Structure 1
Amino acid sequence: MKLADLTGHEEIIRALRRAVEQNRASHAYLFAGPEGVGKTTTALAFGAALLCRNPEQGDACGRCRDCRQVAARNHPDLHRLVPEGASIKIGQVREVLRLITLSPFQGQRQVFVVEQSDLMTQEAANCLLKTLEEPPAGTVLILISDRPHALLPTIISRCQVLTFQPLLPEQVSVILKRVTDAPDEEVELLSRLSGGCPGRAVRLAGTEGGYFGLRQRMLELAAGLNRASLAEALQRAAAVAGDKEDALTCLELFLLWYRDLLVCKETGTPELLFNRDLFPLIDREARIYSRGQLLRVIKEIEKTRDSLLANVNTRLAMEMLFMRLAGAG
């Protein structure tokens, strides 16, 4: 995908195209913002523009050999670094440093995209820092992070930081219609539920049974949880704790659900709800909780989500959350 094809983030896209057009790309960037907002997609499109042999107005031409290789994910000078297990280890960073010392294979640049860069171990981060202090010519590093506060301040200070903000619902809708075959009703709902993060919306649309089927399963888990015994809470946690991505999706839906309960309790206005089609059920459930209880529940869910993103044990985190929610109402 070319930079010109991306939806949203207009100021960032203009800055990146200007850097390519003027041949003034920084040696290191930090793309920061919520998960699923488009950071990796933008990084790869920027990498394509940097490696393109015939860039057009600061963007990849889409036709040359380099562009075709980037599209096929086999360009020898575009490298992607992802966590191995729970972290990015020092051995991975040392391999990056080894590649950096080599000349580009077929062009003038090498581009390194470091995904979830906040998961670098302390040793790996310190190792990378040395390269950021004395970057070799022709190298562009793009660090991607949902949690930039977890990076070393010295790393952040050596990067050009670009902060990605959530998109508007109509922008998310455009992306969903382009990449999924979800029905219009689901597209409209997911565009509002995604929190401005199209990657999240695409993932929800691609779940078994689509979003509505997934929401029904999550509501069945949440129903009566405030009155469940500890044993029942553990059983419900086990149903979603087998996979980290499933657990994160569950937490996203729980946040939306309890947020709707709070908004309904405070305003009684269906139009302000994400799940407005479930207003009678939300209105009934909201009466069970006090305002303070709902705020505490939302805070607990957010803490658990942050813990999972930091790679704590998924099952333990979900069990602790569900046990706390069992006594919330």
Structure 2
Amino acid sequence: MAETHQDLASQQPVAMKMLQQSLQKNRVAHAYLFEGGRGTGKKNMALFLAKGLFCRQPDEGVPCMTCEQCSRIDQGNHPDVHMIEPDGQSIKKEQVKLLQEEFSKTGMESKRKAYIVNGADKMTVQAANSLLKFLEEPHPSTTAILLTEQIHQMLPTILSRCQHVSFRPLTPVLFKQKLIAEEVHPTMASLVSKITNQVDEAIELSEDEWFVQARKIMLKLYEVLKDDPFEAMIRVQSDYLPHFKEKSQIDQSLDLFLLIYKDLLYIQTDKLDHLSYPDWLETFRTDALQTSANQLTHQLTVILEAKTQLQRNMNTQLLMEQLMLKLQGGSALV
């Protein structure tokens, strides 16, 4: 389902405001470069701009999203809007040539034409040079929209001919909503949105049995630690060490632990939409009431210190045992 104007505006307010004003004032550039990380909405914004160019009943620069023109762009079958994407690992010269041939024809339904190059940084040198010629001699009613995650891999001569639009990473709260729309369970979406800003990676994590088990182990370790640090050390031996073996896994476990204590902080400051473990709200609410800001600062600090020690190749068992003692010791601080 296509994202609404409101969705896109909340995700990328600066980009939306600029493009909407350009459409409203009929000052659309002949070439745009949308640059930003994966999952930031570049492709959807490119389709929004294309709809804005062809929509029959726009409202102050906002396409209606429902007319025949908008619907056909959404469905990918508008005769005057073309998209090229990598064929395998790259966009090839032949793809750009076919695009140029298509654009040498008169617009099927209007004089206007638009094309979107998704993954523009993946053009071969030959394809990039062909596109450059296209950009150097722009047709007055043609709009080019290039999308890239790797702006430094593109020809400077192409960059100089485009109006740049930067796409910022989504906030964890917005990213969580995006994942829920992708049918990731809300509880898991709350957690993975704090770990990655990449949609594909987040979905993969949410479905990974190892990660699901990792979440359970760290929550159980937290629960045991509250009552008995020595029992927590036994859990480190029996549950933690067999599961977290590689350095990257241990680092991720510390991130999962850090997010537990951050949740306590979010509860204290009434930012419940920021929680990583919303299903533990009631338990964490009780704990947050019994924990001072100084305690939390101490606990967050010692977990961050453990992450630093891990990078210095400290023994994992010793690292975790020391962490258990330091976290428990933090509860005595005022």
Q: Same fold (TM over 0.5)?
A: yes
Alpha-carbon distance in 1 for matches of 2:259, 2:43? 37
Alignment of 1:236-247 (within 5 A): none
Residues 1:189 and 2:191 are matched in the alignment: yes
The aligned residue for residue 40 of structure 1 is 43
Q: What's the secondary structure of 1:111's corresponding residue?
A: strand
**Cα distance change, pair 71–287 in 1 and its aligned pair in 2 (3 A):** closer
Equivalent in the alignment of 1:69? 72
Instruction: Look up the SS of the partner of 1:193 in the other structure.
Output: coil
Aligned to 1:204: 202
Task: Specify whether residues 23 and 257 from structure 1 end up closer, same or farther in structure 2 by C-alpha distance, changes over 3 A only.
Answer: farther
Call closer, same or farther: CA 1:259–1:98 in 2, change over 3 Å. Answer: same
The 3 A distance-change label for structure 1 pair 216 and 86 is: same
- The superposition leaves residues 80-137 of structure 1 with CA deviations (integer Å, 9 ceiling, x where unpaired) of 1011111111111111111221111112321111011101111111111111111012
| Conservation of the 8 A alpha-carbon contact between 1:100 and 1:136 | no
Q: Which residue is 1:50 aligned to?
A: 53
8 Å contact from structure 2 (residues 189, 206) kept in 1 = no
In the other structure, the counterpart of 1:151 is 154
Q: Which range moved further: 147-156 or 98-107?
A: 98-107
Conserved? CA contact 1:112–1:142, under 8 Å = yes
1:262/1:291 contact within 8 Å kept: no
Give 1:34 deviation, angstroms: 0.8
**Is the counterpart of residue 122 in structure 1 residue 122 in structure 2?**
no
Residue aligned with 1:32, SS: strand
Residue identity over aligned pairs, in percent, reads 29
Task: Please tell me the residue identity of whatever aligns with 2:194.
Answer: R
Task: Supply the AA of the counterpart residue of 1:137.
Answer: P
Give the structure with higher Rg (CA): 2
The TM-score with structure 2 as length reference comes to 0.65
Ranges in structure 1 where 5+ consecutive residues have no aligned partner? 227-253, 295-329
By how many angstroms is 1:257 displaced?
Answer: 6.2
Alpha-carbon offset, residue 172 of structure 1: 1.7
CA offsets, 1:266-304, max 9 Å, x none?
Answer: xx7853599889x9xx97xx589543459xxxxxxxxxx
Aligned-partner Cα distance in 1 for 2:16–2:56: 19
Distance change (3 Å), C-alpha of 1:263 and 1:73: closer
- Indicate which of 157, 176, 182 corresponds to 1:180: 182
Aligned to 2:245: 224
Shift in alpha-carbon separation, 1:218–1:108, aligned structure 2, 3 A: farther
Indicate the SS of the match to 1:166.
coil
Gaps of 5+ in 2: 216-240, 264-274, 281-298, 315-334
User: Is the alpha carbon distance of 1:50 and 1:5 closer, same or farther for their aligned partners in structure 2, counting shifts above 3 Å?
Assistant: farther
Counterpart contact for 2:11–2:40, Cα < 8 Å: no
Q: Output the CA distance in 1 between the equivalents of 2:149 and 2:307.
A: 35
Residue 213 in structure 1 maps to residue 224 in structure 2: no
Name 1:89's counterpart in structure 2: 92
Structure 1 residue 261: deviation in Å?
4.2
Give the whole-Å Cα distance in 2 for the aligned partners of 1:136 and 1:214. 54
The code of the aligned residue for 1:204 comes to A
Q: Match of 1:11? A: 14
Matched AA of 1:58: G
Is the 1:48–1:70 contact (alpha carbons within 8 Å) kept by the matching residues of 2? yes
2:261 aligned residue: 271
Work out the CA distance in 2 between the residues paired with 1:269 and 1:171: 18
Structure 1 pair 107–183 and aligned structure 2 pair: CA distance change class (3 A) = same
TM-superposed CA distance for 1:142, in Å, is 0.6
In structure 1, give the amino acid aligned to 2:202: L
1:192 partner SS? coil
User: 1 CA distance for matches of 2:174 and 2:187?
Assistant: 16
Amino acid at match of 1:44: L
Deviation string 1:185-205 (CA, Å, 9 cap, x unpaired) is 11211322233x5x34xx633
Distance 1:212 1:63 in 2: 38
